[in-house]
Structure 1
């Protein structure tokens, strides 16, 4: 086709220069055909995209990252054949707002998706829509609920509002939509590929439930609890080891499930013509993880395999935001980002070209689940907070500090119960006790992540870090303003310099 395209375009140009009317008519026809062939040729050159999303999956819980707690040979092989990222952060430590960010290239706040039960607004244009409408892709979603058509358990009255105003929109955003269990994802991918027109590239977003709570993977996947290496933010208690073993079993199982999906690509000889991304939607449902603005809540595994473009064995510690995924994949397809996208393409980094890394990234926390507010609730169900992270430091702004901390999804498990008992008996270290049980929680938190990777020593207000805290507060305020955030801005004067002539002192 490339040679035919060159020949037709050359003849069209020559005919336009000819004084003969017939030649001009033919030239116009040739130009029209040339344009159609250009579009067809461009579509043929666009890569297929398979986006694999695990659920509640914290970094570094893949053996490719050096974690001794899990065995993930399938995903490790993807990393070996592509690039792995150590510091990819989702837009929120919860599935609904995080997925909204991944699909829109915008923060959950900007996309109006901080309320867990909300459907994605129709005027928020998603990655699969842009690939389909601008790039000629055949687009699909399968697997576990993608969470962007609103919660299902919302009561009859709310469900009627959804129906009356046609708020469930994903059936019109993609060509193929089918939720299913993890063990059916490979079959759904096969059905999707069977329906795909031969002349179209594809985008498939395949969702997995693992390693989401409840943890029920068979014993064959479960490591010995005694063998586990615990991070500094988790106390070494028997119940903690048992529950962490349950979690690791789910990670091991999703690795095998991914293998069944990749087998379908291999069978169809599509592995070398497809960008494969593996990513977690947010962190693990353990203390300091899911629902929290500490790193384990939003720092997730992220791998990209793209034969011929991404060199095998790539390893990056650049800060990457969930907002950056959609612009990057559109860039890879030769398309411009959506008009409202705030994320930045990191395609140059994937290609080994010059790349300017992010200075800051941002994470938000809002309500979780669909339960109504209750007088005795903890922050697991409802919390309003924001965070900004640089290479070394993190600043957290808590707007509901009076709500006591509780882990999302796992508060009823033996790990949290034993932590509560140990704290009551004075057996937790001061850092752990303050982090999990101090009430009210601090409005402002600042962590030196190099010196304190467990985020257990709050440095907010320390004079020696005043300049750093001032810069992070100003960066967060700028993000909140530009995203039309509904929360009050953090104090830009308290311990963080002064404001003069509308500018934050110390802000570049």
Structure 2
């Protein structure tokens, strides 16, 4: 009898161990407005992020993870639905996530038995918070705020309260259930107010090639880097909660940014700094330490991957593709293309003198080497999202007016109308300052990217007109009329 009890106990332990591997706890950490390569693990000399560096060293870091949009609301829609913001009908900030869009935490809860939660900064998927009484009444009458029903626990809080909220969530978790927690951080989003201990010396910073080296640029870059350094400390507090409860080694931890930094060429733009974000995965026993990947990964791929890690199938409408084999060190077919969309920003109404910081419609497709951008509202002048009033942009405007800005930057930031089509060789021009659209020697490449984008737009039921596919006649923007950045204003 005693031998039988020992055998049953051993079998129970094996079953529990197998279940833990099949249904790992999942912690999804999301920073806000966080561009690649602003972690020191990527070699950036501008920041010091020891917590996230260790997370990368103990797992895998990705250099080319791209969000579905360079903006908070649509990018989060993609992360949660495994679909593009266009397909999920989430290209407007005031839009609530449609009830028929089934999210990652819902599938984990309903199909995998997970206890699920969201905490921290606004998750942005129940409609804008400032929409006016009339719109708010519509939300209420039609029960459009749905996230309270999509997860078991929903709490918004400041960054310094996230660790406490994670602890409270774990206190409520049933002992027999794995958990999924989506913890959101405000940093490094505006307001940039990190204490002096986090802020580097502006003179010590390396200025990215897509900005001019101006005093105001250095000052705001220092402000931003201070925010990145602070979020590293905040993440450490959350990880400490797992360590104290003995959960750190049986939890799949993902860290990434929701979109790029709020500076020119970043947030709101279809250039790489707008949607290329840090992405780290730590999963002891599955992901080998020290992993380093340059595969193209779309935010559409995150939900299918986490579902696969939990032993579950992707949602029926998900267009993303699981990269779980890559995490496991198995054969993996990388993406040939990924896609990014740009729509309205914020909830302000259209104004006659507005810039594209508030309203813009565009699409982009990226391959390993090339980027094609399709601007559908090119007549609206460029202005950086959330930072047009900052000293960096003001000094860039002054330098341009004085004829002191490099030609590529002047053309990129101050041409009106902007070109309908842009093409960049990211190997030769990683700063994306030299538009090659219409160059005869790249016609085949441009045609391929236009076709890939058109296919994506068709399959996602995109509401924008398709780009010219350069079939036969090159068409406007495809050849003679599409060269350069356009005429200066």
> Above 0.5 in TM-score?
yes
| CA deviation vs aligned residue, 1:390-411 (integer Å, no higher than 9, x gap) | 0000000000000000000000
| CA deviation vs aligned residue, 1:408-453 (integer Å, no higher than 9, x gap) | 0000000000000000000000000000000100000000000000
Q: SS of the residue aligned with 1:142?
A: strand
The 8 Å contact of residues 5 and 38 in structure 1, kept in 2 or not, is answered as no
Q: Is residue 84 of structure 1 aligned with residue 68 of structure 2?
A: no
Deviation of the 1:87 alpha carbon: 0.1
Q: Give the structure 2 partner of residue 342 of structure 1.
A: 319
**Cα distance 1:178–1:484, how it changes in 2: closer, same or farther (>3 A)?**
same
Q: In structure 1, how many angstroms separate the alpha carbons of the residues matched to 2:465 and 2:312?
A: 36
Q: Give the structure 1 partner of residue 487 of structure 2.
A: none
**Cα distance 1:324–1:496, how it changes in 2: closer, same or farther (>3 A)?**
farther
Aligned counterpart in structure 2 of residue 304 of structure 1, from 271, 278, 281: 281
Q: In structure 1, how many angstroms separate the alpha carbons of the residues matched to 2:337 and 2:406?
A: 31
| CA deviation vs aligned residue, 1:242-285 (integer Å, no higher than 9, x gap) | 00000000000000000000000000010100000000000000
CA RMSD of aligned residues (A): 1.9
Q: Give the structure 2 partner of residue 26 of structure 1.
A: none
Q: SS of the residue aligned with 2:70?
A: coil
Q: Is residue 397 of structure 1 aligned with residue 370 of structure 2?
A: no
Aligned counterpart in structure 2 of residue 244 of structure 1, from 221, 226, 229: 221
| CA deviation vs aligned residue, 1:75-116 (integer Å, no higher than 9, x gap) | 000000000000000000000000000000000000000011
**Cα distance 1:117–1:272, how it changes in 2: closer, same or farther (>3 A)?**
same
Deviation of the 1:493 alpha carbon: 2.2
TM-score by length of 1: 0.90
Q: Give the structure 2 partner of residue 480 of structure 1.
A: 457
Q: After superposition, where does 1:274-289 map in structure 2 within 5 Å?
A: 274-289=251-266
Q: Give the structure 1 partner of residue 392 of structure 2.
A: 415
The 8 Å contact of residues 20 and 250 in structure 2, kept in 1 or not, is answered as no
Deviation of the 1:214 alpha carbon: 1.4
The structure with the larger Rg is: 1
Q: Is residue 352 of structure 1 aligned with residue 307 of structure 2?
A: no
TM-score by length of 2: 0.94
Q: Is residue 182 of structure 1 aligned with residue 169 of structure 2?
A: no
Q: After superposition, where does 1:403-482 map in structure 2 within 5 Å?
A: 403-482=380-459
Q: After superposition, where does 1:66-81 map in structure 2 within 5 Å?
A: 66-81=43-58
Aligned counterpart in structure 2 of residue 140 of structure 1, from 102, 113, 117: 117
Q: After superposition, where does 1:113-192 map in structure 2 within 5 Å?
A: 113-192=90-169
Equivalent residue pairs, number? 470
Q: In structure 2, how many angstroms separate the alpha carbons of the residues matched to 1:284 and 1:261?
A: 23
Q: Is residue 491 of structure 1 aligned with residue 463 of structure 2?
A: no
Q: Give the structure 2 partner of residue 193 of structure 1.
A: 170
Large movers: runs of 4+ above 6 Å:
5-8, 37-41, 494-498
| CA deviation vs aligned residue, 1:219-238 (integer Å, no higher than 9, x gap) | 11000000100111011000
Q: Give the structure 2 partner of residue 31 of structure 1.
A: none
Q: In structure 1, how many angstroms separate the alpha carbons of the residues matched to 2:18 and 2:396?
A: 60
Q: In structure 2, how many angstroms separate the alpha carbons of the residues matched to 1:63 and 1:143?
A: 24
Q: In structure 2, how many angstroms separate the alpha carbons of the residues matched to 1:387 and 1:63?
A: 28
Runs of 5+ unmatched residues, structure 2? 476-489
Runs of 5+ unmatched residues, structure 1? 9-36, 499-508
Deviation of the 1:42 alpha carbon: 4.0
Q: Give the structure 2 partner of residue 270 of structure 1.
A: 247
The 8 Å contact of residues 469 and 496 in structure 1, kept in 2 or not, is answered as no
Q: Give the structure 2 partner of residue 256 of structure 1.
A: 233
Q: In structure 2, how many angstroms separate the alpha carbons of the residues matched to 1:39 and 1:458?
A: 56
The 8 Å contact of residues 22 and 311 in structure 2, kept in 1 or not, is answered as no
Q: In structure 2, how many angstroms separate the alpha carbons of the residues matched to 1:188 and 1:60?
A: 29
